[in-house]
Amino acid sequence: MRAAYYAGKHAIEVGPCRPVDAGPGQVRIRVSHCGICGTDLHLYHGHMDHRVKLPQVIGHEMSGTIESVGVDSAGWREGDRVTVRPLDPCGSCPACLAGHGHVCMKLKVLGIDEPGAFQALWTVPAHTLHRIPDGLDLAHAALIEPVAVACHDVRLGELKAGEFAVVLGGGPIGALVASVAREAGARVLVSEINPFRVALLGRLGFDVVNPRESDLTAIVNERTGGAGADAVFEVSGSEPGAAIMADLLRVRGRVVLVAVFSKPVPVNLHRFFWRELRLIGTRVYEPEDFDEAIRLLASGAQPFTELITGVYSLDELQRGLQEMERGADVMKILVDCGS
Amino acid sequence: MRAAYYAGKHAIEVGPCRPVDAGPGQVRIRVSHCGICGTDLHLYHGHMDHRVKLPQVIGHEMSGTIESVGVDSAGWREGDRVTVRPLDPCGSCPACLAGHGHVCMKLKVLGIDEPGAFQALWTVPAHTLHRIPDGLDLAHAALIEPVAVACHDVRLGELKAGEFAVVLGGGPIGALVASVAREAGARVLVSEINPFRVALLGRLGFDVVNPRESDLTAIVNERTGGAGADAVFEVSGSEPGAAIMADLLRVRGRVVLVAVFSKPVPVNLHRFFWRELRLIGTRVYEPEDFDEAIRLLASGAQPFTELITGVYSLDELQRGLQEMERGADVMKILVDCGS
């Protein structure tokens, strides 16, 4: 079988790989599709080399079919269509003991701290599995993981029907957050600077503003009768996003922090004080977010699958990363791991 | 009668003042005591000149006795001992309509946007009044307003018994937050750099650390078994405080933002993401916070009054401001407005 390896900064190698037997409490999955995540791009840039063992198979947004089942994996059998919630918490740190294992203080993320899914056969702990419903296409099911991120963000942001939400950053996660927020009944405005993404989101029915061309704050105030937005999802990870996020909110509004900021950035804390705003940090997902993501994808309620702009072979993984890197006309790229 | 006026940057003038009759819905109060607030110092520095009409009587942390009652001020009569919740919301902005009048978008604060309490007779809307219980000394009752700030902060921070709270900044408000947090059953650690305040808080039984002399993060981790604090109250308004606040918290911990930051400062948003932290902006108080502050002060449960380090005459207001300005050995200074 074959796998795509991260082999060091800017280097992806595709080559043979020896399948790992499913041990106790494990299953081996024949991987169907695996999406390329922003985190994979971050890995590719060498920013997470302290967490990987080179060369390492990466990838964690996947779908597939169980190929073999180890002992002590009750409830699962060969042929089951599954996706993986790629988190392996320690179970004993203060975060785990408090019931927040998804942000375990020693969390192992499959595809980062452990081998990932850009390979034909992937062996994982059975406790990470979620079942894919019959009606959901396996390629589309590779979106479950990023949709679960969006479900987590909208849930922790306590977004309610009728509220006005601004999504700063209309890349794959921003687009999914906007979709889940719309499904929750919110009015959604997306702020995005990439023309391809602006156009794509516009075709999907979103109200999209390019903040380099329009006054975002003025537009939000206009849309909300001068009150400000109920919630802002900061998904851009940019200094301008961090600088403006608080200014867009109504009194007691919420910033839902989704993006990964690699260094401290200036934040208008005065506005948090003045309007009694809240900021809610969010990271990955909990099991219920996977359940909700599966339900939403299976329902077909939102055009999630329209965000897939390409399905590449394993050999084309590096091409996909390069396209994402240069801001090409792409949104979500999947890799067909069976190809 | 006499009043102390803010007459421009670094200028306080004490002179005669004509009492204002209590109009409809108003009462006139014979002011007993009025504390000097950090906001008064900010005014004195000229930073809020856009909000005042010179010369203007300032002051808003007061206690007194009703001297006369205007029409339509049902429920109040001459001789009632009262304090003033010095907020006058517009009643019609989106914040007021949503029930958040204390952070009204056109809020008038008595003592800033309207004349204040550093005078013998102060005329205010009756809707701002809270009754002072018989057993509570009028001088001590001048602490009700700042204690209400602390009650608001602890309430919005949802601090629970047994939690570990860090208070960054042990000035008057930090000391009151620490006291209210202790009363709520939390374990409290105060971070303060002023030696006089460190010593005073130590005498009052608080665990106090000077972060310039000790490693605050290491101490918090040690005190919490490596988990981190449940809540951090940022009361210092300093860049070092903003820089460290997130680093002190456990997974899903809360920063309660109390201080006024006059400009954007760097914040470690990565830590908010990584540990799913929350930041809760807080400003002034709501009526229930005044009720709770009165209850706490009357109960004598915490040594609030030990924070009073001086009671000055109206003529000494500027001296008090100068002492606060230079970081002298002071905590809370009251002005005896009847002197």
B239 near A CB under 8 A:
no
Q: What is the ipTM of this complex?
A: 0.98
Catalytic residue list of B: 39, 42
Distance CA B170, CA B192 (A): 5
Asked if A134 and A245 sit in the same domain, the reply is: no
Asked if B97 and B9 sit in the same domain, the reply is: yes
Using a CB-CB cut-off of 8 Å, the residues of chain A touching B265 are 266-267, 269
B84: Cβ–Cβ under 8 A, 6 or more apart, which residues? B29, B60, B62, B110, B117, B122, B124, B128, B129, B130, B145
Asked if B274 and B291 sit in the same domain, the reply is: no
Task: Return the residue in B153, B173, B271, B279 with the most chain A beta carbons within 10 A, the one to mutate for interface testing.
Answer: B279
A263–B279 CB contact, under 8 Å? no
Does the residue B195 lie in any domain?
yes
B273 near A CB under 8 A:
yes
Which is it for strands A249-257 and A229-234: parallel, antiparallel or unpaired?
A: parallel
CATH number, domain with residue B105: 3.90.180.10
Instruction: Find the CB nearest B94 among A95, A156, A226.
Output: A226
The predicted pLDDT at position A338 comes to: 86
Q: What is the mean pLDDT of chain B?
A: 97
Asked if A192 and A274 sit in the same domain, the reply is: yes
Number of structural domains (chain B) is 2
Output the CA–CA distances (angstroms, integers) from residue A309 to A78, A104, A132, A330, in the order listed.
31, 34, 22, 6
The predicted pLDDT at position B271 comes to: 98
Tokens read off for B195? 């030696």
Distance CA A149, CA A74 (A): 27
Tokens read off for B166? 């860090």
Asked if A140 and A30 sit in the same domain, the reply is: yes
Closest CA to B20 of B65, B70, B55: B70
The predicted pLDDT at position B338 comes to: 86
A109 near B CB under 8 A:
no
The predicted pLDDT at position B339 comes to: 65
Asked if B316 and B189 sit in the same domain, the reply is: no
pLDDT value at B298 more than 80: yes
Q: What is the mean pLDDT of chain A?
A: 97
Asked if A323 and A219 sit in the same domain, the reply is: no
A270–B263 CB contact, under 8 Å? yes
Q: How far is B75 from chain A (nearest CA, A)?
A: 32
pLDDT in tens, A158-187: 999 999 999 999 999 999 999 999 999 999
b (16+ CB within 10 A) / e for B307-317: bbbbbbbbebb
Does the residue B300 lie in any domain?
yes
Asked if A170 and A306 sit in the same domain, the reply is: no
**Amino acid making up residue B289:** D
Domain around B174: 158-281
Query: What is the Cα gyration radius of chain B?
Result: 20
Using a CB-CB cut-off of 8 Å, the residues of chain A touching B263 are 270
B21 near A CB under 8 A:
no
**Looking at A281, A301, A327, which one is the last position of a domain?**
A281
B267–A264 CB contact, under 8 Å? yes
**Amino acid making up residue B335:** V
pLDDT in tens, B24-56: 999 999 999 999 999 999 999 999 999 999 999
A257 near B CB under 8 A:
yes
B250 near A CB under 8 A:
yes
Work out the average pLDDT over A87-105: 98
Q: How far is A250 from chain B (nearest CA, A)?
A: 8
Asked if A13 and A135 sit in the same domain, the reply is: yes
Q: How far is A276 from chain B (nearest CA, A)?
A: 4
Q: How far is A192 from chain B (nearest CA, A)?
A: 21
Asked if B276 and B289 sit in the same domain, the reply is: no
Does the residue B152 lie in any domain?
no
Using a CB-CB cut-off of 8 Å, the residues of chain B touching A87 are none
Residues in chain A: 339
pLDDT value at A339 more than 80: no
Work out the average pLDDT over A48-59: 96
B100 near A CB under 8 A:
yes
Asked if A18 and A142 sit in the same domain, the reply is: yes
With 0-12 / 13-18 / 19 or more C-beta atoms within 10 angstroms meaning exposed / middle / buried, residue A77 is: exposed
Residue A73: how many CA atoms within 13 Å on its side-chain side?
A: 24
CATH number, domain with residue A252: 3.40.50.720
Contact B244, B168 (CB under 8 A): yes
Does the residue B193 lie in any domain?
yes
DSSP assignment of A146-211 equals: HHHHHHHHHHHTT--TT-EEEEE--SHHHHHHHHHHHHTT-EEEEE---HHHHHHHHHTT-EEE-T
The predicted pLDDT at position A197 comes to: 98
A68: Cβ–Cβ under 8 A, 6 or more apart, which residues? A21, A22, A27, A28, A78
pLDDT in tens, B190-218: 999 999 999 999 999 999 999 999 999 99
Output the CA–CA distances (angstroms, integers) from residue B325 to A3, B43, B50, B140, B185, in the order listed.
66, 12, 21, 23, 33
A50: Cβ–Cβ under 8 A, 6 or more apart, which residues? none
The predicted pLDDT at position B319 comes to: 97
Which is it for strands B26-35 and B121-125: parallel, antiparallel or unpaired?
A: antiparallel
b (16+ CB within 10 A) / e for B33-58: bbbbbbbbeebbeeebeeebeebbbb
**Looking at A281, A305, A326, which one is the last position of a domain?**
A281
B103–A275 CB contact, under 8 Å? yes
Does the residue A153 lie in any domain?
no
Work out the average pLDDT over A26-51: 97
Q: Tokens 């010593």 correspond to what residue?
A: B199
B126: Cβ–Cβ under 8 A, 6 or more apart, which residues? B25, B26, B27, B69, B70, B72, B73, B75, B76
Closest CA to B111 of B129, B123, B97: B123
Does the residue A151 lie in any domain?
no
Using a CB-CB cut-off of 8 Å, the residues of chain A touching B271 are 281
Res. B225 pLDDT band, cuts 50 70 90? very high
Does the residue A45 lie in any domain?
yes
Q: Left (φ > 0), alpha (ψ -120 to 50) or beta: where does B276 sit?
A: left
A257–B251 CB contact, under 8 Å? no
Task: Return the residue in A270, A275, A289 with the most chain B beta carbons within 10 A, the one to mutate for interface testing.
Answer: A270
Active site residue A42: yes
Does the residue A295 lie in any domain?
yes
Element (H, E) at B208: strand B207-209
> Hey, is B103 helix, strand or coil?
helix
Dihedral pair phi/psi, residue B282, rounded to 5°: -135, 145
B60: Cβ–Cβ under 8 A, 6 or more apart, which residues? B34, B37, B39, B84, B86, B109, B110, B111, B112, B116, B117, B145
Task: Return the residue in B90, B221, B273, B284 with the most chain A beta carbons within 10 A, the one to mutate for interface testing.
Answer: B273
Asked if B127 and B65 sit in the same domain, the reply is: yes
Work out the average pLDDT over A105-113: 98
Distance CA A124, CA A114 (A): 10
